[in-house]
């Protein structure tokens, strides 16, 4: 049963009567279960015993009633009466690691906290909202392409797994007993995770921030984000897998699909570490301002851009591994996945001294591209796209493109020419093993009366272009071959930048000398998983 109204009046009255007689008497209230299953669709979960003790997540609603998921002995199912986009949870909720590989299945969206536009509506932004806790090892699945997880401003998510017990957010079709059609999982099976923070985004003006009326509207799903605190804390995502996301929300325009992980003005108090994103339909991770840092990130076979920087993101990143490739879809067709390894945009709205153009610092990055054209929109597989006054700085970055008959490694457009020429966007101690570095006819970059070439820009800070036939990857296909004779430059010690960065002596996301760390194992598992579906 999914809704349980616990009527305790008679038990409470009895307890009071006995208490009046004195003595240490403990009374266990009798629970009258008047449950009603309000779900529209209940997929067969199989293998369960509906008579088992209910271990599903529960919370107390505003009427004082306990609302709980339905347990079949293996899986927990939560219908839209439990939570949905129009029925958010406003109190703490915990999803435990169910025994026997049980799954928390949501038939709608999982929304924590209430959204608020305090400029147009009579509401107040909750700064100490509910927390969604997801225990290590938990599996959380969705059966609708329109469903998503939304952490509203002031709410938190605490999802901290381990390498041995990661947390998985995925499609219900990844589990045979929950796959009603039997087609298996695929990109766009569900929406993804959205976190709305109180950080700084150029989607609001200085005046709005000063008046505490910053209410930027998110993409895909209408929610509100932004504020004036780039140290805001939205919780923890650690050892988390996000697979088969990128669905189109109900009522959204075509093409306005959700990213696997959307970070809307998320602050630096949030921890995002050890993330595995696979087969998303839109971007892997997109930043809309804020200053959250990320570390140990693997993004494989995402349709659009793997890592999208926008709206004034001021964060840092280290150890980012990106692979574009192919997957076999549910129709049996092999399709190419991936546009940009990076889509790097500096300004999305109104930039100012308080909300400057995106200027993140990134170290130890590997981007492995193909010569394919993305099935999503027909765009080429590119390692790095620069636009809109981006001021990012990359260190120890390895770009790989062995073949280039219709693609290239670095693309720039609009006012990115200015930041390439003046060096506001720069790349240091890095290697481009690219069969073609820039698009034919775009090798020369001109801004005003000044100009440079893409290769000159790339090599300006102890970096080198070595060509697509260079031997730069180890046999596992993702680690940097540290004995490569094609790499003649030295790595940069990123720990000299600040305390966030760790000391490294290699270029790229991971060294071939590492075969035992959690980072190596996390990356290797992601690559093996992706290779199994090529």
Q: Which of 379, 309, 365, 296 is nearest to 337 (CA)?
A: 379
CA distance 407 to 131: 44
In which band, very low, low, confident or very high, does the pLDDT at 256 lie, cut at 50, 70 and 90?
confident
Q: Which of 301, 330, 338, 42 is nearest to 189 (CA)?
A: 330
pLDDT at 169: 99
CA distance 193 to 275: 12
Cα 238 to the center of its chain, rounded Å: 11
Average pLDDT over residues 41-57: 57
For the chain, give the mean pLDDT.
Answer: 91
Average pLDDT over residues 497-512: 98
CA distance 467 to 400: 9
pLDDT at 426: 98
Residue 250 backbone dihedrals phi, psi, to 5 degrees: -60, 130
Pair 432, 464: CB distance under 8 Å? yes
Strand partners, 170: 141
CA distance 316 to 257: 26
Strand partners, 224: 217
pLDDT at 43: 37
Average pLDDT over residues 443-471: 97
pLDDT digit string, tens, across residues 72-127: 999 999 999 999 999 999 999 999 999 999 999 999 999 999 999 999 998 999 99
Max Cα-Cα span within the chain = 95
In which band, very low, low, confident or very high, does the pLDDT at 249 lie, cut at 50, 70 and 90?
confident
In which band, very low, low, confident or very high, does the pLDDT at 22 lie, cut at 50, 70 and 90?
very low
Q: Which of 103, 109, 104, 43 is nearest to 245 (CA)?
A: 109
Pair 497, 468: CB distance under 8 Å? no
Cβ-Cβ contacts under 8 Å for 343 (sequence gap 6 or more): 283, 304, 305, 307, 308, 309, 310, 385, 387
Pair 193, 149: CB distance under 8 Å? yes
pLDDT at 248: 86
Average pLDDT over residues 181-203: 97
Domain-by-domain residue ranges, the chain? 74-532
In which band, very low, low, confident or very high, does the pLDDT at 220 lie, cut at 50, 70 and 90?
confident
Quote the pTM value: 0.90
Average pLDDT over residues 30-41: 34
pLDDT at 278: 98
Ramachandran category for residue 167: left, alpha or beta (phi over 0 → left; psi -120 to 50 → alpha): beta
CA distance 531 to 519: 18
- Say if residue 142 is exposed, middle or buried (CB neighbours under 10 Å; 0-12, 13-18, 19+): buried
In which band, very low, low, confident or very high, does the pLDDT at 465 lie, cut at 50, 70 and 90?
very high
pLDDT at 45: 34
Residue with tokens 């500096």, as numbered in its chain: 346
Average pLDDT over residues 270-290: 98
pLDDT at 255: 75
pLDDT at 534: 87
Who has greater pLDDT, 120 or 260?
Answer: 260
CA distance 378 to 215: 34
Q: What is the helix (H) or strand (E) element at residue 194, kind and residue range?
A: strand 193-196
Which two tokens mark 428? 């240091």
Percentage of the chain lying above the pLDDT 90 cut: 86
pLDDT digit string, tens, across residues 335-348: 999 999 999 999 99
- Dihedral, CA atoms, 512, 518, 521, 524, nearest 10 degrees? -70
CA distance 528 to 517: 16
pLDDT at 374: 93
Pair 392, 419: CB distance under 8 Å? no
Pair 95, 134: CB distance under 8 Å? yes
Cβ-Cβ contacts under 8 Å for 62 (sequence gap 6 or more): 90
Which two tokens mark 216? 């930027």
Most confident of 43-52, 250-259, 293-302: 293-302
CA distance 322 to 305: 10
pLDDT at 214: 97
Q: Which of 439, 429, 442, 445 is nearest to 493 (CA)?
A: 429
Task: Evaluate if residue 37 carries a pLDDT over 60.
Answer: no
pLDDT at 179: 97
How far is the CA of 28 from the CAs of 14, 23, 272, in angstroms?
A: 10, 16, 43
CA distance 476 to 8: 61
Task: Evaluate if residue 29 carries a pLDDT over 70.
Answer: no
pLDDT digit string, tens, across residues 372-411: 999 988 999 999 999 999 999 999 999 999 999 999 999 9
């Amino acid at each position: 049963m999914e809704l349980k109204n616990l009527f305790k009046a008679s038990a409470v009255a009895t307890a009071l009567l006995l208490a009046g007689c004195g003595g240490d008497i403990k009374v266990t209230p009798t629970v009258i279960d008047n449950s009603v299953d309000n779900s529209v669709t209940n997929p067969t979960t199989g293998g369960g015993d509906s008579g088992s003790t209910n271990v599903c997540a529960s919370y107390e609603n505003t009427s004082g009633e306990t609302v709980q998921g339905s347990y079949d002995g293996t899986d927990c199912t939560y219908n839209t009466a439990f939570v949905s986009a129009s029925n958010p949870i406003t109190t703490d909720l915990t999803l435990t690691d169910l025994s026997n590989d049980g799954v928390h299945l949501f038939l709608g969206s999982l929304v924590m906290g209430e959204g608020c536009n305090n400029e147009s509506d009579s509401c107040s932004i909750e700064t100490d909202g509910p927390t969604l806790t997801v225990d290590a090892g938990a599996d959380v699945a969705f059966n609708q392409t329109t469903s998503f997880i939304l952490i509203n401003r002031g709410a938190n998510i605490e999802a901290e797994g381990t390498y041995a017990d990661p947390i998985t957010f995925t499609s219900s079709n990844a589990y045979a007993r929950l796959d009603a059609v039997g087609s298996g999982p695929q990109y766009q099976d569900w929406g993804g995770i959205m976190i709305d923070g109180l950080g700084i985004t150029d989607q609001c003006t200085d005046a709005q921030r000063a008046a505490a009326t910053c209410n930027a509207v998110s993409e895909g799903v209408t929610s509100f984000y932004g504020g004036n605190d780039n140290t805001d804390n939205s919780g923890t995502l650690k050892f988390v897998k996000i697979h088969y996301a990128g669905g189109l929300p109900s009522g959204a325009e075509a093409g306005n699909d959700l990213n696997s992980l959307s970070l809307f003005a998320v602050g630096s108090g949030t921890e995002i570490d050890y993330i595995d994103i696979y087969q998303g339909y839109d971007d892997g991770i997109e930043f809309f301002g804020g200053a959250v840092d990320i570390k140990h990130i693997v993004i494989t076979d995402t349709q659009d851009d793997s890592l999208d920087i926008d709206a004034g993101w001021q964060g840092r990143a280290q150890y980012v591994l990106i692979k574009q490739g192919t997957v076999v879809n549910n129709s049996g067709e092999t399709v190419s996945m991936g546009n940009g390894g990076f889509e790097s945009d500096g300004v999305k709205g109104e930039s100012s001294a308080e909300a400057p153009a995106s200027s993140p610092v990134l170290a130890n990055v590997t981007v492995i591209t193909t010569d394919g054209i993305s099935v999503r929109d027909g765009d080429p597989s590119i390692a790095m796209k620069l636009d809109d006054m981006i001021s990012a700085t990359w260190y120890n970055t390895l770009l790989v493109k062995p073949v280039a008959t219709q693609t290239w490694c670095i693309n720039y457009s609009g006012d990115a020419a200015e930041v390439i020429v003046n060096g506001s966007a720069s790349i240091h101690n890095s290697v481009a093993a690219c069969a073609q570095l820039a698009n034919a006819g775009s090798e020369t970059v001109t801004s005003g009366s000044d100009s440079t070439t893409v290769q000159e820009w790339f090599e300006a800070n102890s970096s080198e272009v070595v060509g697509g036939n260079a031997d730069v990857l180890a046999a596992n296909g993702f680690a940097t071959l540290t004995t490569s004779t094609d790499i003649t430059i030295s790595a940069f010690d990123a720990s000299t930048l600040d305390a966030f960065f760790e000391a490294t002596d290699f270029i790229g996301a991971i060294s071939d000398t590492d075969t035992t760390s959690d980072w190596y194992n996390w990356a290797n598992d992601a690559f093996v998983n992706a290779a199994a579906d090529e």
